[in-house]
Chain A
Amino acid sequence: MSKKPEVNAAELRARYPDVFDRPASSRLATPMMLVAALAIFVFGLVDLDFSPSRFISGLSQLGWISMMMIPPDPGSSLPLYLKALGETLSIALLGTTLAALLALPVSLFAARNVVPSILLRFPVRRFLDSIRGVDTLIWALVWINVVGLGPFAGVLAIAISDFGAFGKLFSEAIEGADRKQVEGIRAAGGSALHEIRFGLMPQVLPVIAGQVLYFIESNTRSATIIGIVGAGGIGLQLAEQIRVLEWQKVSFLILMILVAVAAIDYISGKLRFAIIGRRAVA
Chain B
Amino acid sequence: MTIAVSILPEQQLAAMNAAYRKAVARKRLRLLAGLAVFVAALIVASIGAEVNLRTFFSYFGNFVSYFDRILTLDSGQRVWTNVGEWFWGWRKWLKLLGETLLISYVGTLIGSVFAFALNFFAAENTSPAPWLRFTVRRLLEFARTVPGIVFALIFVIAFGLGPMAGVLAIAIHSTGALGKLFSEIVENADMKPVEGIRSTGASWLSCMRFAILPQVSAGYASYALLRFEINVREASVIGFVGAGGIGQELIVAIRKFYYSDVSAILVTIIATVFLIDITTGWVRGRLFGKEART
Contacts and interface: CB of A to CB of B under 8 A. Distances in A.
Interface stretch (B3-11, B14-22, B45-53): B45-53
A228 interface: yes
B109 A225 contact: no
A89 B46 CA distance: 10
B82 to A, nearest CB: 22
Contacts of B255: 141
Given A44-B106, A90-B48, A261-B145, A62 B244 contact: no
B49 A87 contact: yes
B33 interface: no
B63 interface: yes
B236 interface: yes
Nearest to A253: B150
A45 B168 CA distance: 11
Counting chain A CB atoms within 10 Å of each CB, the highest count among B109, B153, B162, B273 belongs to B153
Main secondary structure of the interface of A (DSSP, over half): helix
B160 interface: yes
Interface stretch (B97-105, B181-189, B208-216): B97-105
B63 to A, nearest CB: 5
A239 B153 contact: yes
B111 interface: no
Contact of A133 (B66, B102, B234, B269): B269
A46 B244 CA distance: 14
A41 B62 CA distance: 44
Given A61-B159, A130-B270, A90 B164 contact: no
A111 interface: no
Given A48-B106, A137-B237, 7 more contacts: A50-B167, A62-B154, A129-B274, A151-B49, A152-B49, A152-B56, A235-B150
Interface of A: 37, 40-41, 43-45, 47-50, 54-55, 58-59, 61-62, 65, 86-87, 89-91, 93-94, 97, 129-130, 133-135, 137-138, 141-143, 145-148, 150-152, 154-156, 221-222, 224-225, 228-229, 232, 235, 238-239, 242, 245, 250, 254, 257-258, 261-262
